[in-house]
Amino acid sequence: MVDVEEPELADSPYVTLISSDGLQYVVKREAALVSGTLRGMLNVDSSFQEAETNRIKLHEIDSVLLEKVVEYLYYNLKYKNEVDTPEFEIPTEMSLELLVAADFLDV
């Protein structure tokens, strides 16, 4: 959603996640690597197109879900090694769809 200069280089510290309805989320590479699926896509040895362009299209995840996912990626990044963490809030009605997305993204 943030409109910044498009990162293109493979070693850029940011990657762009694109939701099914076309919104772009520029997140830290570190945060994106929390997700096993994204990690695989961004692996430079994998020769995925995503690894070169640093843009990942997530056709099955809409912007509402993706925003929550991104929120979790940063939550995980921040509290990974801490025990005393605040609860991660999820609206109840979103939980099932989010579970599907989380299952896909392996987070």
Partner 1 sequence: MRSRRNETNEESSVRGPNSALTAFLREQGITAEVIERRNRQREEQEELERAAVTQRVATDANSDIEELVDAATSKRRAADVSDDDGDDGNHDRDPDGKSYCLDCDVEFKITVLSKRAERNGRAGYLCADCTLIQQRKARNARRNEVEARKRRKKVAAALLDKQEYKLPSLQDICVKLISQNIEEVDAFGDIGTVNMRKISKILSKNRSLNGHTMTLFLDAGLKELEFWDCSNMDSDSYTKIAAFCPRIERLTLWMCGQLHNDNLRYIATNLPNLTHLTLNGPFLISDSCWQDFFEIVGSRLKGFHILNTHRFSNDSMVSLLENCGSGLEELTISRMDGLDSKPVYDILPHYLTKLKHLEISYPTKEELVDDALIVNLLSVNGETLETLILDGCSGLTDATLVSGIRPFCPSLRKLSLGLLDQITDDGASQLFTDWDINDGLMEVSLRRCTALTDAGVYPMLEHSRSTLIELNLNSVYGITTQMFQDWSRNLKLGLLTSLDIGFVQSVNDKAVSILGRVCPKLTILEVYGCNNCTQEATVRSGLRLIGRQTDNF
DSSP codes, the chain:
----PPP-STT-SEEEEE-TTS-EEEEEHHHHTTSHHHHHHH-GGGT-HHHHH-EEE-TT--HHHHHHHHHHHHHHHHHTT-SS-PPPP--GGGHHHHHHHHHHHT-
In the bound complex, what is the minimum distance in angstroms from residue 85's beta carbon to partner 1? 7
Name the minimum Å distance from CB 46 to partner 1: 22
Window 71-90: residues binding partner 1 (CB under 8 A): 72, 76, 79-80, 82-85, 88, 90
Q: How many residues does the chain have?
A: 107
Residue 53 is a binding residue for partner 1 (CB under 8 A): no
Is residue 96 a contact point for partner 1 (CB under 8 A)? Answer: yes
How many chain residues interact with partner 1 (CB under 8 A)? 22
Q: Rounded to the nearest whole angstrom, what is the least distance from the CB of residue 61 to partner 1 in the complex?
A: 12
Binding of partner 1 by 1 (CB under 8 A) = no
Residue 28, amino acid: K
Q: In whole angstroms, what is the distance from residue 107 CA to residue 10 CA?
A: 23
* Site residues, partner 1 (CB under 8 A): 69, 72, 76, 79-80, 82-85, 88, 90, 92, 95-100, 102-103, 105, 107
